[in-house]
Every structure is written in structure tokens, then in C-alpha cells.
Structure 1
Amino acid sequence: MPVVSLRRTTLLTVVAALLACLVTVPSARAATYSAYVMGYFKESPNQSGDSYALHLAVSSDGLSWTPLNQNNPVATPTAGMQGLRDPYILRKQDGTFVVLATDLKGRVFNLNNQYIHVWDSVNLTGFTGYRRVRLHGMNTHAWAPEAFWVPSRDQYAVIYSASNGTRDVLMVNYTTDFVDMGTPQVFFDPGFNVLDGDVLVHDGAFYLAYKNLADGNLYVARSTTGAPNSFTTLTGGLRQGDAIEAPILVESNAGNTFWLWGDSFSPANAVFYAWRSADVEGGSWAPLGQRAYTAPINAKHATIAPINEAERAALVSRWGAPQWNRLKSYNFPGRYVRHADNVARLDPFPMDPTADQQWRLVPGLADPAGVSIESVNFPGRYLRHADLAVRLDPDDGTATFRADATFHRTAGLADGAWTSFRSHNHPDRYLRHLGYLLRIDPITDAQGRQDATFQITY
């Protein structure tokens, strides 16, 4: 073979090998995402639903969430305080994940814990390399750790809440492996106390959401470099509800939409709130009503990361989708159907016991084409109407009970994307709420159509 031809063949072989490597090595930047994963811990008003461990949920649209593993933990710390708060999920540059979390358990805060929990994970179906790493040696805490990649440094920035001796600030450590955490330095000190930083990298710029402890509001700031103390605040104060914290900045996989999430820091009112913007740099955020989204039961201080469809399917396959549902009110979207003293009610979330709002939608007792609504915590008891009021009663085996406890799902009377439930044995009547109590009534006006419309969710 001529020398020139041999060289050309060798060069082509080398180029092909390099291209093959580029194709097979996972890349966080090149990935195409179509779903989301959320990590969180749990708290409920009377502490019966508390869980200081890592929980996961998935979503296809970034707004309605499916908790995995029956909303039970997927990983629990075994060192330090043996519990976590404020988990954070980061996709690393090699396409795998790292999970960070505050080393705290319960509601008694250790103000001088300098450590955080860390796990590695290929695709969040399992967790390896658990370790507890120290971020600093100061006489202060290390809360709500989060991380992002800084191309100019070829390192990850780990930011967290701490005190610099004068006030609460955001600190930063730089690392390549989440083992050697480097030297701490102040990352964001605007001259007043701040808490809970979250950074979104978009189009080469860095956007920081944080809580201003002076006024209790959330804000969004911007930096072109992501360097310490380089951020300029873009927004006015944002708040929904009485108290809010734990901001999360999320870019929609579909593009042209950004979400800012926050949750109430009071366990008695553990509610998520959300805003939407078409321009993260513009500083204008519109509140989303709770009809638009549903967070997992009792979720607190969450993290949201984009994933692809194969990863979403693998997570559902590994951990399992819920074997229960919740019924969310259309016109009172902060309220869910629950039973209390065997009466079917519409009550505000959060509520205890948690399982009072969880239902199994099973084939209709009187007609398998319909549906019966069985209690999770009182199996064998079903929602049924009696004198038009709806109760939770045990199946007594009679035809009357089976008919009273059977409904037929129809397109929502107020919104066809939601659901209404028509009575099996009174087909001119629908399940609706009135004075927050459930009953079956004929539906004749717009108010009734809203009262009779529910979302089957988790």
C-alpha cells in the first residue's frame, strides 16, 4: 500500500476512534432531557409523617410529581446525626450524579455541625460511596449544601449557609471529587443575613436564588462569572404564604420557561409555592396557582434536576410508582379529599394522619367498568353515599352498599383534563363538595361543575 494511502487510513481510523469516544462518554451538557427528578425529606404538622432521609419523585412536566417507593426513603445516612435535611441532586460532568445533604435529624438544629452527607449515584436507582465530609473548621453550621460546575475553574462550587462571624452568608468550597472539599470562602454577602442559595447556570450566566432573612422574601441575582461576591440582584422580594424559604430555580426542558419554587418553613403549613417566568434575566416572576402543580406529600426543602425519559423509566421501575392516589379539588386546589371520623371531607393540605387523604381506586364494586374509592389506612372501607352524604363505611356485602360505593369517571365538568365522578345508582348526580363536605348532587350551574371536578393525583 502506498505510504500516503496508509497514512490517510491510519488518520481516518484515529478520527473514527475519537468520534466513537465522544459518542459513548456521557455528557451532562449534550444530554436531551424530557423529565425531572425531585429529592426531598418529609415533615408533617404533628410529626407523624416526618422522615429525615432521601426521598425521590419524578415528573414529566416539572409540575405534577409522582413520589417513588410509596413516598418512603431511598437512602438514609448512617453517620453523624443519622438523618438529613435539604438534599441536593447534581448531575456531574460525566453524566452521573452526586447527592449532598445537611447533616441534621429532626427539628432540633445543631448550630455548629460543619459536615454534610454525600452519596454518588450512576442514575439514582442506587447509591454508593456514602461519606460525611467536613466543609470548614469555623464555629458555625453548614446547611443546605448545593453545587454547580464552574468551567473557568474546572471545578464544582459547593455553596451552603453559614455564619461568617458577623451575619449569615453563603459560603463556598471548590472541589473536583466531593471528597477533598478545598478551603471555604464567602460566596455571597449582600450586607444582610441570607439563607438557602440555589444556582442555575443558563447560557453561560449564573443565576442565584436566595432568601433575605431581613424581610423573609426570596430574590434572584445574576453573575456572568459565578465567582464569589459577583452577583447583582434582579428581582424585588417574592413571597407567597406567611413564610417561605428553600428557593429552587428550574429551567423547563421545553425551553422559554423558568420556574422558581419555594416552600413554607413551618411544618404546620408545609406547602410548596411556585412562580413562572419567560426570562430568568428579566426579573419578572408571576405566581402559579396551586391548580397548576402538585408536590409530593409532606415534601420539604426539595431539589429538582432534569433527567431523560430512560432515566425516568428506570427510576419508576426500580423504586415503583404509588399504589394509591389523592383527589385534589379543582376550585380549592390546596384541599384534598380525606376521611375524618368516617365523614368524607375536603380539607387543606398538609394534614395528619397522612393516609387519611390516600385512596385506592379499584374496579367498581357494583360494576367493574366503574370505580370504587377504598381507604388506604382502613382497607375494606369505601366512600359511599347514604342519604346523599358521602361517608367511609365498611363493605357489608349488600348490593345496596356496592351500588352506593360505585362511581363512573367522566371528563371533569369544569375542566375536561380533570375528572368528575358520576354516581352509579343515581346517574343524574355527581360527587361534589359543599361546605367542604362530600355528597352527591345534580349539577346544574358553574359552581356545581367546579365543586364536582377533581384531579386524580399523588
Structure 2
Amino acid sequence: MVLTGLTTTFSAAAAVAGTREASAANSAYVFAYFTESPNQTAANYGLHLAVSTDGLNWQPLNQNNPVVTPTAGTLGLRDPFILRKQDGTFVILATDLNGTDFSQNNQYLHVWDSTNLTSFTGYRRVRMHGLNTHTWAPTAFWDQARGQYGIVYSANNGADVFMVNYTSDFRTVTTNQVYFSPGFGVLDGDVVVDGSTFYLYYKNLSTGLLYGARSGTGAPNSYTTYTSGLRQGNQMEAPLLIKDNSGSGWRLWGDSFSPVNNDFYAWSTSNVGANSWTALNQRTYTPPMNAKHGSIVGITSAEYSGLTARWGLPNWVRLKSSNFPDRFVRHANNLGRIDTYPMEPYQDQMWRMVAGLADGAGVSFQSVNYPTRYLRHYNYEIRLDVNDNTAAFRADATFSRVAGLSDSTWSSFRSYNVADRYLRHSNYVLRIDPISTATDREDATFRVTS
């Protein structure tokens, strides 16, 4: 479909909108994603949202349930992308694919409009091309020279390339054309405009690495790759580039190739135009639980408050190990331990941190998926037992939350009735022990997160 005669009135107050550049008005972030887990018990192909004030540690909204789900096409989405438009409102684009059957061909994208992400209107599917191929992983950007938005997505025209269509309203689009075809297969492009430079980050299908390219115009086939390949863990995809709200740095996220691996890794740089990305330690960030292939955009404090009021923050927590930050506290066979994330059943890592059963000034850990059971110590080992409401059980299941013994910004938990002992892991198993060494202090320190 060729776009003709369409005009859009842009707000002067939104001069940097549509580029995902940092804005002085932004003080928080929102993350859009879908969910999967190793055995796919968490698979949900609706639009999920999480919020963060630092852009690193995330709180899922709506108890990590979808806030909207497609009602046409495959009835599911992957790869949701949020763009703040020139008028300050949002548009959401997503792959029209429900599940993991990647052999399906689909010429459409899901599209919603939203004023502030507390509601979603104007749902439609937009046809992007007439090829017998997929339409995956959309990204969008404002092209000032054209006076239009570019929608870039992965497709195959005999080779795996990025296609682009231009639009003024995300309803009618120009005829598709090749946007980036470097001579090898590419997947999952993310385009961000910074001043007069357009950055395109992508996955090289021949190497499994993430790369960055740039252009002075953003025109089709104008990009030159300028970075070395990036990877953490196993093969990666879905690069996600975001400028800090402070305007002083950048982060790059990469999604793991499979839900059985850690879902996201991250890098940072102070200069996106240089080949100088530094891998972040997993202690510094916690992606939304079970999140897959999403997008991040800056939001204002008012938008953050509106999102949390509308959708609610989690009524559960997770406990992340300080010295094994890829592991979280969970129960298995009614024993407490720390295991690598992601895990199944994924609910085993979810806790309601309630007022202490023996002392309301303390805390107790109630299992989300076995709500009659709590973590308690017994012969110094941590077990998941049914609350029999005895004084002994209530005392064994109560802990005093204190500043982290190895990092005061994290937390440690002192036993209520054996006050010289703290909750810690040893050989990945949880117990309460006296703490004396630096290793002990690390073992007894956790981040309370979502």
C-alpha cells in the first residue's frame, strides 16, 4: 500500500520524541516484552510491561500478566516495540506470531495506539508486504528529512534482510524496500536516532554475534558496520539499544537465543559511536522474570506513577544471590537453595515477604505456589514447611532484615531465634550459619527484587 497525501501535526513540546533519545523530562523507563520459560510453562504471547527507575532492575506490572492481547491474526505477539511519537503519545508494534512455530509466514504487524500505556486503542493489523515470508521484530524511528516514520523489520526476499516501510500514521504504509542487506543474513534490527546519526544494531546470523552499524542519513542501504561482534553466554539475538535518561551514556541489551538460557545480558558505553562496549556484571541488573525480546523507552515520573497505579507492582519478590548473581533463592523438594535462572517451575523462586510470623517487625517468606508453606530453619537447614502455627515454627520462619553484610545496598536476613546466625547459601543449599569471613558475608547477601 502506497502512502499518499497524509499529514501529521507534530507537537513542538515533543521535539525529541520518536527518536528514543534521552529527554530531560524522562526519569524512569518502561520495558515491553512477551514471556517464555525453559519448559514453556510461562509462555504467554500478550504484551507485558515492566518499569524501572534506573533502567537496570525491573518490576513487572500486572503481576507479570499481559496488559493487552491481540484479537486478530494469530491471536499472539512476539517482539513488542514501543515508540514515543512526535506528538508525545505511543505506538506499539509487534510480530504477529503466537508461539514458536517460526515456519509460519505472515505479512502483518500488530499495532496499537496509547496515550500513556495505561490503555490501548485503535488495534489493527497492518500489512507490510506481499512476500511469502515473515514480518519479525519491528523497530521504528522518526526520519526528520522524510517527515515520516520508518518501520524496519526482519524478512526474507531470498536472503535474510531488513525491510523498511514509511508511514505518517502507522495505518497506511509505503511499499516495502530493502533497508539493510550487508551480504550475510541479519536478524532483529534496532534503529535509534541520536542527533544526526542513525544507529542500527543487529544480529549477524552467520556468527551469532551482535553488531552496530551507523548512517548519517538513515536512508536504506546507507549503513556501515563499525563495531566488533558482541556476545555474552551462548548465541544471542534481539539487540536493544537505549540512551540513559541522564543523557550521559548508553546501554545495549541482548536476548539469549533460547529460553533455557539467561534471558538477557547487558553492556554499557559512554560513547555509542565508539567500538567500546563493556559487559555489565549481572549483579547490576535484573530483567523482568521470563521476559523475552522486547523494547525499552524512557518515561516521565507522571507516566511511571500512572503505570504503577493502573497495573500494580508485584505482590511477590525474588531473592538474588550477591556472589552468584545468575542464581535466585528457590525451593526444590521442600528444601531451600539457589539455582540458575531461568528455572522450572518458575514459581519456585517467587515469595511473598510478609510480616514475621513471630514478630511483625521481622519478615517471613511465604511460597507463592505453595501458600501454606514458608521457609524455616530446622537443624540449621532451610526447609519449606507447612505452617503448623506453633510458636517454634513461627520463630524458625522469622528473620530480621538488615543491610547486606557484603553490600549495604542489598539485604541480609538474621535468624529471629538463633540471633548469631544468618540466612546464607553453602554449596547452593540454604542454611543459617554464624558469619565471620568475607565469603560468608557474600553468601549471606541478597538483592530483594521482582
Name the structure 2 match of 1:134: 127
1:104 alignment partner in structure 2: 97
Q: Is the contact made by 2:80 and 2:94 (CA closer than 8 Å) also made in structure 1?
A: yes
Q: Which amino acid aligns with 2:132?
A: N
Q: TM-score, normalised by structure 1?
A: 0.94
How far apart in 2 are the matches of 1:192 and 1:136?
22
Using the TM superposition, name which of 152-161 and 230-239 deviates more: 230-239
Could you tell me which amino acid in structure 2 is paired with residue 62 of structure 1?
G
Partner in structure 2 of residue 50 of structure 1: 43
1-structure distance, mates of 2:322, 2:97: 37
1:216-253 residue CA offsets vs partner (Å, 9 max, x unmatched): 00001111111111111111000001110000001001
* Cα distance in 1, alignment partners of residues 133 and 368 from structure 2: 44
Pairs within 5 Å for 1:41-190: 41-165=34-158, 167-190=159-182
Q: Distance in 1 between matches of 2:211 and 2:16?
A: 27
In the alignment, the residues of structure 2 paired with residue 96 and residue 80 of structure 1 have an alpha-carbon distance, to the nearest angstrom, of 25
Superposed, 1:330-345 pairs within 5 Å as: 330-345=322-337
Contact 1:44 1:270 (C-alpha < 8 Å) held by counterparts: no
| Paired amino acid for 2:86 | Q
Displacement of 1:141 in angstroms is 1.0
Q: 1:383 maps to which residue? A: 375
Structure 1: give runs of 5+ residues left out of the alignment.
Answer: 1-20
Say whether 1:202 aligns with 2:202: no
3-state SS in 2 of match to 1:269: coil
Equivalent in the alignment of 1:13: none
Shift of 1:31: 6.0
Q: Deviations over 1:360-403 (max 9, x none)?
A: 11111111111011111111211000000000111111111111
Larger radius of gyration: 1
Equivalent residue, structure 2, for 1:456: 448
1:402 aligns to what SS in structure 2?
helix
Is contact 1:157–1:173 with CA below 8 Å preserved after alignment? Answer: yes
Conserved 8 A contact 2:348-2:369: yes
CA distance, structure 1, for counterparts of residue 413 and residue 398 of structure 2: 9
Distance in 2 (alpha carbons) for counterparts of 1:263 and 1:22: 34
> How high is the sequence identity, in percent, across the aligned residues?
63
Match of 2:403 among 387, 411, 414: 411
Contact kept in structure 2, 1:68 and 1:320, CA below 8 Å:
yes
Runs of 5+ in structure 2 lacking a partner?
Answer: 1-9, 18-22
**Equivalent-residue separation in structure 2 for 1:26 and 1:207 (angstroms):** 21
Distance of 1:431 and 1:85 partners within structure 2: 39
How big is the shift at 1:270?
4.3
Q: CA deviation at 1:164?
A: 2.0
* AA in 2 matched with 1:170: F
Q: In structure 2, what is the equivalent of residue 244 of structure 1?
A: 236
1:401 paired residue among 353, 369, 393: 393
Matches within 5 A, 1:275-354: 275-354=267-346
Give the corresponding residue for 1:34.
Answer: 27
Partner Cα separation in structure 1 for residue 216 and residue 425 of structure 2 = 52
Contact 1:52 1:85 survives alignment (8 Å): yes
Quote how far apart the aligned CAs of 1:346 are.
0.3
2:260 alignment partner, SS class? helix
Tell me which amino acid in the other structure corresponds to 1:271.
D
Residue 210 of structure 1: CA displacement? Answer: 0.3
Cα offset for 1:324?
0.3
Q: After TM superposition, give the deviation of residue 26 of structure 1 in Å.
A: 5.2
CA contact (8 A) 1:197 1:247 kept: yes
1:326-350 Cα shifts (integer Å, max 9, x gaps): 0000000000000111110100000
Which residue number in structure 1 is paired with residue 214 of structure 2? Answer: 222
Aligned AA (1:276):
S
TM-score (norm 2): 0.95
Residue 443 (str. 1) matches residue 435 (str. 2): yes
Deviations 1:59-90 (A, max 9, x none): 10000001000000001001110000000000
Are 1:363 and 2:352 an aligned pair? no
Q: Which amino acid aligns with 1:157?
A: G
Matched, 1:191 2:210: no
SS at match of 2:440: helix
Aligned 8 A contact 1:270 1:299 in 2: no
Return the offset for 1:57. Answer: 0.3
Q: CA RMSD in A?
A: 1.2
Whether the aligned pair in 2 keeps the contact of 1:97 and 1:124 (CA below 8 Å) is yes
Query: Is the helix fraction higher in 1 or 2?
Result: 1
The one-character-per-residue Cα deviations of 1:150-188 (angstroms, maximum 9, x if unpaired) are: 0000000000000122x1011000000111111100000
| Counterparts of 1:31 and 1:254, CA distance in 2 | 7
Aligned partner of 1:427 in structure 2 is 419
2:442 partner SS: helix
Judge conservation of contact 1:113–1:141 (CA < 8 Å) in 2.
yes
2:234–2:257 Cα contact (<8 Å) kept: no
Q: What one-letter code is carried by the residue in structure 2 that aligns with 1:109? A: F
Structure 1: how far apart are the matches of 2:384 and 2:405?
24
Q: Which amino acid in structure 1 is aligned with residue 40 of structure 2?
A: Q
Return the match for 2:256 from 247, 250, 264. 264
Amino acid aligned to 1:289: N
Contact 2:11 2:87 survives alignment (8 Å): no
CA drift at 1:111: 3.8
